[in-house]
Structure 1
Amino acid sequence: MDTNWIQRFPLLYALPAAEHWFSIQINLGLANATIDAYGRNLVDYLRFCLQQSMVIETATREHIAHYVHHLANQPLARPTAERQVGLANATMQQRLVTVRLFYDFLVEEGIRTQDNPVRRGVYTPYKGFAGYRDRGLIPHYQKLPWIPSDEDWNQLMTYLKTETLRNRLMFALSYDAGLRREEVCSLQTGDIDPSRRLITLRAEATKGRRSRVVPYSVATGELYMAYLRQRQSLSRNRGPLFLSESRRNRSMPISIWTWSKAVQTIARKAELLRFTSHTLRHLCLTDLARAGWDIHEIAQFAGHRHTDTTLIYIHLSGRDLADRFQRSMNSIHVQRLALLHGITSTIDPN
C-alpha cells in the first residue's frame, strides 16, 4: 500500500469500498495524474455525503442531483469576473465520471443492489446516440483553452528570472517540448541527449502510454547544463532529473503537485491566475500551428493518437485570425484588381 496516497487521501482510505476501488486503479498502472484526479474527485464526493448524512452505498439519483447542484453553486476559492460561484463545466464532468466509475464498481461487486445512480449519456462523436436518446446529467461544453498574449508572456518572464534554476529549466522544457506536468516531473537523467538536444519520453511516463522523442532549444540546453552542475550538490546518482531542494524532502524526486504550486506562484506574481502548468503545452502546440506545422506533425509531436485531440489544444486567437483574414482579403483584392485592370486595358480609348 502506497503511504503517499494514504497521507494524501485519508478520508478515502477510511471507507473500505472506496479504498478497494482506489487500490484497483493504482494497481492498473494508471498515470499518477489520473490516480490523483480520481482520488481528489472521490474525496470531494465522500465529504459531501458525510455533510449531507447520505448513505453512500444506497444513494439515489435525487442524491446525485443534490451533488450536482452543490458543484454548480459552491463558492470559488479564486472567483473571477466571469464566474463567482460554481465549478467549471469540465471539472464537474470529471467529478461525475469518477463517481460513476465508483458506483459501477459497487454494482459489480454486489455492494450496491440498485442501478448506478449517475446517469450515463450514450452519445459518442461521429456516431450519434446508440439506441435510445439519453443524455448525461449535465451538458458538456468544450471551451477554447486560454493562452497568454505576448504581453502576458513578457510579464511572466520578468518573474521567472527570479526563480530557481530547476524551476526555470522545467518551465523551459515544458514549453519547448510541449510536455505535460507528469512528463516533465518524471524525466530521468538518461532521457535527455544533450549532444543532439533530444528528449526521450518513455511510454510509462506518458498519458497515452506511447513513447516519443522531442527536441529542445539551444537556450534550454544551456539551462540544462547549468542545472546538472547544480544538481550534483543534491545527488551525484543517475535517476530522476528534477529533485526537491527543500529541507524536508531534500534530493527526493519532485512531485507533480510541487511543480503545479511553483507555476501557480509564478502566475500569482505576474497576476495571471489562469496560467497553469498545462498552459505551457497549450501555448507550445498553438505556436507550432502559427509557425505552419501540419496538424499531423503537431499530433505526433504532442503524442496524440488522433488529430481530433490535437484540435482541442490548438487554437488561434481572435487577433491571429483577424490578421490572417486581412492578409487573405488583401491577396484576393490584388487579384481582383489585376483582373479588372486586364478588362479595362482592352477598352478602345476612341
Structure 2
Amino acid sequence: MAKKLLDQLREVLRLKHYSYRTEQSYVDWVRRFILFHGKRHPAEMGAPEIQAFLAHLAMEGNVSASTQNQALSAPLFLYREVLHQEIDPVPLPSAKRPQRLPTVLTRDEVLRLLNHLHGVHKRMAQLLYGSGLRLMECVRLRVQDVDFEYRTITVRDGKGEKDRIVPLPETVIPELRRQIERVRLLHQEDLAAGYGEVYLPYALAEKSPNAAREFIWQYLFPAPRRSVDPRSGKERRHHIDPSSLQRAVKQAAQKAGIPKRVTPHTLRHSFATHLLQAGYDIRTVQELLGHKDVRTTMIYTHVLQRGGLAVRSPLDLSISPWSMMRSQCDLGKIDRR
C-alpha cells in the first residue's frame, strides 16, 4: 500500500535530518496548501496555485514576511524532494523581511534582568548573554559541551549545521558545576528506573548503541519529567521546554521595570553589541555569533551609532557651554526665590 503524501514528506524530512520543529511546520503548511485548493493533489497543481495560496495568506491572513517565506518553502520542498516535480517557471513571490534594529539592553538592564531570574532559568540566561547563544543552542547543550579547563562551550550543529566555540563566563562556572551534578543524579535515577536514554542526532545512535545512555550525552538543562519521543515512541528525558525560559525572561523584565520588549534573543543581541562597545573587531564577533555573512553582524554597528550615524543634533550644537552655564545659573536664581 502506497504511503500517504504527508507521510512521504515526513520520511524525506527525517532522511535529510531536518529538525522535528521544521518537520511539523512543513507538514502543516503543505496540509493547509492542499486544503486551500479543495484537497486537490499537489501533483495536479503548480506555481499558480502556490501563488494563490501565498496571496491569500498575505491579503486575508495578514501574515508576516517570515511566515510567508516559510509557507513558500514547504510546498517547494514537497515538489522538489518528494514529488520530484519541477515547478513551472512562473515568478514566485518571496516576501522581504523588514529591516529593524535589534533591541539591546544596557549593562545595567542586563544585571537587573538577571537579578529577577532564579534557578535554571538564570543559568540559561547568563549563557545567552555571556556566551551569545541562541535560545535553542542553549537548551540543546549536552554535558560534554562544557569545558571548564579551557573555559569554553562547544555549540554543536548550530544554525547552518555548523559547530563553533564560544567563551564560558567565569562567573557561571560554580553554578554550572552544581548543575552538572544535578544532571548526574537525575540520570542515575532514570537508569535505576530502566530509562536513561537521550535523543542522539542523526545516525550516531546506530553507530554507538550505548551512547544514548552515557552521561556525557545527557542534556545540560534536562526537562523535569520524561516524555515519549514522537518519532521513535521511546520514553526519554528531553531538554527543558524553551517556552519556560521565554516566559521567565518576560516576567523578569517586567519586574525589573525595563521599558523594552525583552526576549531571550535580546540577551544575544546585547552580547554582540557590548563586545563591539568593548573594542572587539567585527570578525571576532561574527565568529562567536556563528553568522555566515558579516553583513548580518554589521547590524549591531548601527545600534552603536547614536543619534543617526553618530551625528550630533543641531539643537545641541546651537547651545554653547557658556549659554548652558547661564541657563543653570538662571534656574538657580529661580529656585532661591
Offset of residue 297 of structure 1: 0.9
Residue 321 to residue 177, structure 1, CA distance change in 2 (3 Å): farther
Within 5 Å, which residues of 2 pair with 1:173-252?
Answer: 173-202=127-156, 205-236=157-188, 237-240=215-218, 241-246=220-225, 252=237
CA separation in 1, counterparts of 2:184 and 2:253? 31
CA separation in 2, counterparts of 1:143 and 1:303? 20
Match of 1:40 in 2: 25
Within 5 Å, which residues of 2 pair with 1:72-91?
Answer: 72-73=58-59, 86-91=62-67
Residue 269 to residue 189, structure 1, CA distance change in 2 (3 Å): closer
Q: More relative contact order in 1 or in 2 (CA 8 Å, sep 6+)?
A: 2
The answer to whether the 8 Å contact 1:208/1:304 transfers is no
Match of 1:21 in 2: 9
Match of 2:295 in 1: 308
The answer to whether the 8 Å contact 2:291/2:297 transfers is yes
Within 5 Å, which residues of 2 pair with 1:1-350?
Answer: 16-30=4-18, 32=19, 35-50=20-35, 52-57=37-42, 58-73=44-59, 86-108=62-84, 115-116=86-87, 119=90, 136-150=92-106, 153=110, 156-157=113-114, 159-161=116-118, 165-202=119-156, 205-236=157-188, 237-240=215-218, 241-246=220-225, 252-254=237-239, 258-267=241-250, 270=253, 275-311=262-298, 314-317=300-303, 320-321=306-307, 324-326=310-312
Residue 96 to residue 195, structure 1, CA distance change in 2 (3 Å): same
CA separation in 2, counterparts of 1:303 and 1:286? 15
CA separation in 1, counterparts of 2:112 and 2:53? 39
Offset of residue 321 of structure 1: 4.7
Offset of residue 40 of structure 1: 0.9
CA RMSD of aligned residues (A): 3.8
The answer to whether the 8 Å contact 1:103/1:117 transfers is no
**What's the % identity of the aligned pairs?**
21
Unaligned runs of 5+ in 2: 189-214, 229-234, 317-337
CA separation in 1, counterparts of 2:5 and 2:64? 28
Residue 262 to residue 182, structure 1, CA distance change in 2 (3 Å): closer
- Code of the residue aligned with 1:17 in structure 2: it is L
2:165 alignment partner, SS class: strand
- Code of the residue aligned with 2:78 in structure 1: it is F
Offset of residue 239 of structure 1: 2.5
Offset of residue 322 of structure 1: 5.0
Match of 1:346 in 2: none
Q: Deviations over 1:191-219 (max 9, x none)?
A: 212233211233xx222333322212222
- Code of the residue aligned with 1:311 in structure 2: it is M
Residue 175 to residue 139, structure 1, CA distance change in 2 (3 Å): same
- Code of the residue aligned with 2:131 in structure 1: it is A
Match of 1:344 in 2: none
Unaligned runs of 5+ in 1: 1-13, 76-85, 120-134, 331-350
Residue 145 to residue 264, structure 1, CA distance change in 2 (3 Å): farther
2:186 alignment partner, SS class: coil
Offset of residue 274 of structure 1: 5.0
1:49 alignment partner, SS class: helix
Offset of residue 73 of structure 1: 4.5
The answer to whether the 8 Å contact 2:143/2:180 transfers is no
- Code of the residue aligned with 1:262 in structure 2: it is L
Give the length in aligned residue pairs: 277
- Code of the residue aligned with 1:284 in structure 2: it is F
The answer to whether the 8 Å contact 2:222/2:238 transfers is yes
- Code of the residue aligned with 1:217 in structure 2: it is P
Out of 293-302 and 269-278, give the one that drifted further: 269-278
TM norm structure 2 = 0.67
CA separation in 2, counterparts of 1:40 and 1:94? 8
1:278 alignment partner, SS class: helix
The answer to whether the 8 Å contact 1:64/1:118 transfers is no
Q: Deviations over 1:90-127 (max 9, x none)?
A: 2211221222121223552xxx6xx52695xxxxxxxx
The answer to whether the 8 Å contact 1:178/1:281 transfers is yes
